[in-house]
Structures are given as structure tokens and as C-alpha cells.
Amino acid sequence: MRTPLIAGNWKMNGSAALINDFGSAFADVSLPAALDVVLIPPFPYLDAARQAFRNTPLALGAQTLNPIESGAHTGEVSGRMLKEFEVSYVLAGHSERRELYRESDEQVFDRLLAALDNGLTPILCVGESLAERDAEKTMDVVLRQVGYAMTRLAPEQRQAVVIAYEPVWAIGTGRTATPEQAQDVMAGIRAYLAEFSAALAEQMRLLYGGSMNAKNAAELLAQPDIDGGLVGGASLKTDDFYAICQSAG
């Protein structure tokens, strides 16, 4: 059985007060026994979150990393630095990084590899635009993004990756892929992974990201190939995020 994973990506949002709110809200909660939960705040809040999330079920994630360990790269953060602050997960290739900052498949792979080299669990984000979906190119786009990474990793490295499918047209728009649409893509990803090995396809966690919220989480998470969620706006509200976590039980 794959352990469900709920990851809350705060993007460029949040505050020190919100960090403390989550630390207090999750200090004494009842969550499903087999569930991993991670919050992914902006870099400036990582140390405060490390302190506030102790004695809670919340693990800590980062939104990106630079593949270079150190040097003259103003504004960048390395995997070694993240590890020092007890970060466990890191996003690689979120659609906003791909679109707004022009990260290529090659650059996304370099970040994913740096995460693995530093003992971090990378969440590889893949997904199609509305134009690509309308042109019926969803699986071509998604499997190209998945394949670029998977074909370049060693078998033991592949096993450490989490994949998040995020239809770009559903991020921050209030639109959500239907459970059936999401499941079709997840099933396609899992079938592709089976070309590497049946064990890889069976054990890899696949998350849905794209306006998951407290109202639609249960239906999405009930799909056989959806193992959790990469949650955006709803992860900024303690009650909503807790409700989504409950839905994963």
C-alpha cells in the first residue's frame, strides 16, 4: 500500500503568524495513521517553521533549489542549505517555475538530481496547459516531462521520487480536473512507469495538484491512482488543510 501524501505549497504567501497558527493547530490533532503531511512555505519562513512544527505531524518542504552546492549565485538556495534546516521535501518543476522562470526539462532534472544527492525527496511536477489539453496533447506533454527525468535516473533514484500531476489550467483558477480526468492521467503515468518496472509503478506516489480543496478532496483522493494532493490556496487555511488531510484517511 502506498502511504498518502498531502503537500501544501504556500507559493509566495504566508507570514510568521501563519506559521505559528499551523504549528498550534496541528500540535494536537487526530490524523489518519498512514499519512504523510508536508507544508512548503517560502524560504524566509523555513527556520520558524522548523521550530513551530516540532511535535506535530507536519514535515517541512521547500519550493525549489539551485542544483549547484555553493558559489556566486545571488538569491539562490542549495540542497545542502535546505537539509541543514531539516527540510525533507522539495518541489522540482512546478508549473509556475517552468512558465514564469522558463525552467526547461533539463533544468528541472538538474534540480531533481540535486535534491536526491542531498537526501531530499523531490516532488516532480508535471502538467499540460489548456491549449495542450484542447489539442489532445495531455499525455504527450505529461509523459515527456516524466520521461525526461525517469530515463536519466538510476533505478534506485527513481524509487525516491514523488510525481505531482498539475493541470496548468486548473491552478489558481478555481477550475479542477474532474476525478475521471485526473485519474486517466494518473493511470497513464503509472502505466508508463511500469515500462521501467512493475515495482516502480506500484510503489510510486502520484499526487494531484490543481485547485484541490476541502470540498473536492475526498472524491479526488478516492481515485485508485491518486495517492495524495499538492494543495495550493487551501493550504493557507488551517481548517481547510486539516479537512483535506482527513479526506486522505
Q: Annotated catalytic sites, by residue? A: 94, 166
Grid coordinates 499526487 are at which residue? 207
- What pairs with residue 61 in β-bridges? 89
- What pairs with residue 89 in β-bridges? 61, 121
Distance separating alpha carbons of residues 23 and 56, to the nearest angstrom: 7
Instruction: Give Cβ neighbours of residue 71 (< 8 Å, ≥ 6 apart).
Output: none
The terminus-to-terminus CA distance of the chain in angstroms comes to 13
Number of other residues whose CB lies within 10 A of the CB of residue 38: 24
- The grid cell for 31 is 490524523
The CA angle 175-179-184, to the nearest 5 degrees, is: 110
Distances (CA, A) of 63 to 42, 79, 100, 185, 228: 7, 11, 14, 24, 18
Positive or negative: CA dihedral 212, 222, 249, 64: negative
